[in-house]
Chains A and B, each alone.
Chain A
Amino acid sequence: MELALQQKLVAQLASDRAFRETFFADPARVAASEGLTGEALSQSHCEQLRQFARVLQHRRLAQVGELLPLTHKALGTRFADLFHNYAITPPSGTRPCEDALGFVRHLKQHAATEGLEPAWSLSLARYEAAQIEATWLDERLVFRCLPHAVRKLSALLAVGDVPAGSYRRLSLALWWRTSTRSRLKHWLR
């Protein structure tokens, strides 16, 4: 089944940057190591694969941006830069919500190691991630304690930019369902 091997190779090349760079260094050798005996993806296809990888990343970015609208607004153009650093490997799950959660985990790591400005953008990301867990992952009860004024920041972002300030104030957020088929309830203070 040559096609199955070819598709696996293309999927890896399109979604995994490190694998892609190794492949581009010596396409024939890597193709052979993957068990491909037919016409290997040659150097002439490398740029096409890079472009295809960019298209896939762009689509992932658009989907994740839709799921994290507050975080997107808070970070502005840096949202895309940070996402591109995250999306060098395939999404961990099969659904956009799982990709969004993976990106928020990446933001937390980034904030811990290199910092993230404004600091309150991480609180918004954690808030939106919790909402995704409550909405999409069959969680009956989700609770978050966040160090910034999430409600106020959400309202400000809804109408424009957020004026400079620390916005430090404890926010408590709760989501719950009484059963998996019941509607989601939310409380934020």
Chain B
Amino acid sequence: MGRKTEITNLLAHLPRLGVGLAYRESFRDELLHHQSEVDFVEIIGDHYIDAPPERMDELALLSEHFTILPHFTNLSLGTAEGIDPVYLEKIANLIRRLNPPWWSEHIGFTRAGGIHLGQSAPLPFTQEAVEVMTKNIITARRAIATPLMLENVCSPLAWPGGEMDEPTFISEVLRSGGTGLLLDVSSLLNHAVNLGGTPATFLEKLPLDRVVQVHFSGGQDACGQLVESRAHPIPEALWQLLDDAVARAPVRCICLERDDVLPPLSEMLGEVERARAIGRQHQRWS
């Protein structure tokens, strides 16, 4: 069996989860009251590394009520210095404890020269960066058998000296690393608007058969640039892009991300329900 077929088969057997929420501690109690309206919960896995017992109690409580998807930001798979083996082992331990259907990280780097950025920075679209990502992904996959999904990042920074366009770069990383794609449609929209392109063109060039999960969140116009604020309702253009992505990709789940100024949970649940209807319309789940 070819490698591509093997990975496509693996992704095709992942469970269809439906629509969930990126977990924030501030709505924990309310979320538990509305658990039937949320199909899964995504946690920021880094917040549960070296965490106090109270935080791990919270995780145990969530695990009792929801399927948990751990999403990480600080492994820094794109760092040329190599990933931190101690941090990787801690992630592996957490994933063993949660036993999720998959886990996710970013196509980018958060650590370089002893500086921890706390948010993914983009990579140059070069063969060298593909090779660095591949090497680090292989190291991570050796330590963690659970399938890995990689998320596209949106940044105002575009490196000089690119050897390929971004969709090609993402495709190369996924192909050589043997991973699925966590498609952030908000990043995709912001990126396209800021760089003067169309999200549909970008979407078309991506390896859509690799899309397992979708992130979506509200954006904000800051000085003519769309930024992913996660603090605003979902704009209509993004609903259309989400619909387009779900129609074309074998999506197993959609996750709403809201941060900063959190609206009432009822507002978020309304957005969850609308996304669920989109998935249902395209027969991604019943």
Residues of A at the B interface (CB closer than 8 Å) are 1-4, 6-8, 10-12, 14-15, 38-42, 45, 48-49, 51-52, 55-56, 59-60, 62-63, 66, 90-91, 93-96, 99, 135-136, 181-184
Q: Can you identify 5 A-B contacts, CB atoms within 8 angstroms? A: A4-B112, A8-B115, A39-B161, A183-B53, A184-B52
Query: What 20 additional pairs, Cβ within 8 angstroms, besides A40-B160, A51-B157, A60-B118?
Result: A7-B78, A7-B121, A8-B112, A8-B113, A8-B115, A10-B112, A11-B113, A11-B115, A12-B115, A41-B160, A55-B227, A59-B119, A62-B259, A63-B118, A91-B116, A94-B116, A135-B52, A136-B50, A184-B53, A184-B54
Specify which of B54, B117, B121, B227 is in contact with A183 (CB 8 Å cutoff). Answer: B54
Specify which of B57, B124, B155, B161 is in contact with A52 (CB 8 Å cutoff). Answer: B155
Residues of B at the A interface (CB closer than 8 Å) are 26, 50-54, 57, 74, 78-81, 109, 111-113, 115-119, 121, 124, 126, 128-129, 132, 155-161, 225, 227, 259-260
B54 close to A3 (CB less than 8 A): no
Give A181 to B118 CA distance when docked, in angstroms: 27
Give A1 to B156 CA distance when docked, in angstroms: 24
Query: For B81, what are the chain A residues with a Cβ–Cβ distance below 8 Å?
Result: 4, 7
A7 close to B79 (CB less than 8 A): yes
| Total number of residue pairs linking A and B with CB closer than 8 Å | 99
Query: For A48, what are the chain B residues with a Cβ–Cβ distance below 8 Å?
Result: 156-158
B128 close to A3 (CB less than 8 A): yes
A56 close to B119 (CB less than 8 A): yes
Query: For B227, what are the chain A residues with a Cβ–Cβ distance below 8 Å?
Result: 55
Query: For B124, what are the chain A residues with a Cβ–Cβ distance below 8 Å?
Result: 3, 6
Give A92 to B172 CA distance when docked, in angstroms: 35
A97: min CB distance to chain B, Å = 10
Counting from the closest, the 6 A-B pairs by CB-CB distance are: A8-B113, A7-B112, A4-B80, A51-B156, A11-B115, A11-B112
Query: For A3, what are the chain B residues with a Cβ–Cβ distance below 8 Å?
Result: 80, 124, 126, 128-129, 132
Give A66 to B26 CA distance when docked, in angstroms: 9
Give A141 to B81 CA distance when docked, in angstroms: 38
B115 close to A15 (CB less than 8 A): yes
In the complex, residue of chain B having the shortest beta-carbon distance to the beta carbon of A134: B52
Q: Report if A11-B129 is in contact (Cβ < 8 Å); known contacts: A39-B160, A94-B74.
A: no
Query: For B78, what are the chain A residues with a Cβ–Cβ distance below 8 Å?
Result: 7
Give A64 to B78 CA distance when docked, in angstroms: 25
A95: min CB distance to chain B, Å = 8
A14 close to B259 (CB less than 8 A): no
B74: min CB distance to chain A, Å = 7
Query: For A94, what are the chain B residues with a Cβ–Cβ distance below 8 Å?
Result: 74, 116
Give A183 to B124 CA distance when docked, in angstroms: 45
A45 close to B160 (CB less than 8 A): yes
B157 close to A45 (CB less than 8 A): yes
